[in-house]
Amino acid sequence: GEDVEQSLFLSVREGDSSVINCTYTDSSSTYLYWYKQEPGAGLQLLTYIFSNMDMKQDQRLTVLLNKKDKHLSLRIADTQTGDSAIYFCADSNYQLIWGAGTKLIIKP
Amino acid sequence: DVKVTQSSRYLVKRTGEKVFLECVQDMDHENMFWYRQDPGLGLRLIYFSYDVKMKEKGDIPEGYSVSREKKERFSLILESASTNQTSMYLCASSQGGESGANVLTFGAGSRLTVL
């Protein structure tokens, strides 16, 4: 079946940029998503990108999509302690396929 | 503020007990979902529903059933809880329609421990 893969952990220093990567296998994906889960909470949508786009920017967040390599990334500029969370990548054609989540750890 | 509300945040049950997890959404969404979340495994879809009284199996339906008698409410039932069902359960909803992004709104989760 289709798969979405991401690293389980990423550690960055406060103030640096964080780049969370994701690869997927479904070449028919129409939308790709980034969700954020803060401790003790459900997931909330951060952003999504349509598959015919290669970049989307929203304030501190930049999403890059390389459709040829089936690679999606989320860049968070000027990472703050409030960005500590688990970040999930997901793709969709009919149903959502989820990655395992990347836990972002912020070092002071 | 639109919401998906899961009535129980934490439950502790014994093996063999029947467990009900309730989820209510106030956005008039067509679609509702139950996922379980386990560390390192991400979200796995248990069941989903596209309409009242309608349900479809997800990737891991074994040991679970669901009920959707009203549009706003989607219940997950564990007929006979087992220790391997200890997990975080997440309910979500989304607007229907075949085009456009499939954006889910999630509840805060129900952490179930089966002893």
Q: How confident is the model at residue A94 (pLDDT cuts 50, 70, 90)?
A: confident
Rounded percentage of chain A residues whose pLDDT exceeds 90: 78
Chain A closest-CA separation from residue B92 CA (Å): 9
Cβ within 8 Å, pair A43-B42: no
pLDDT in tens, A18-30: 999 999 998 788 8
pLDDT in tens, B57-112: 999 999 999 999 999 999 999 999 999 999 999 999 998 666 677 899 999 999 99
pLDDT of residue A104 exceeding 70 = yes
What is residue A19's predicted lDDT score, i.e. its pLDDT? 97
What is residue A66's predicted lDDT score, i.e. its pLDDT? 94
What is residue B2's predicted lDDT score, i.e. its pLDDT? 63
pLDDT of residue A1 exceeding 80 = no
Helix (H) or strand (E) holding A48: strand A43-50
Query: In this complex, is the C-beta atom of B104 within 8 Å of any C-beta atom belonging to chain A?
Result: yes
What is residue A12's predicted lDDT score, i.e. its pLDDT? 97
pLDDT in tens, B13-43: 999 999 999 999 999 999 999 999 998 888 9
What is residue B99's predicted lDDT score, i.e. its pLDDT? 64
Chain B closest-CA separation from residue A79 CA (Å): 23
What is residue A28's predicted lDDT score, i.e. its pLDDT? 82
Query: In this complex, is the C-beta atom of B88 within 8 Å of any C-beta atom belonging to chain A?
Result: no
**CB-CB neighbours of A6 under 10 Å:** 22
pLDDT in tens, A5-48: 999 999 999 999 999 999 999 878 889 999 999 988 899 999 99
CB A63 within 8 A of CB A72: yes
Q: How far is CA A45 from CA A37, A73, B11, in A?
A: 9, 15, 26
Cβ within 8 Å, pair B101-A99: no
Tokens 């949508």 found at: A45
Cβ within 8 Å, pair A92-B102: yes
What is residue B63's predicted lDDT score, i.e. its pLDDT? 96
The beta-carbon neighbor of A31 closest among B45, B102, B108 is: B102
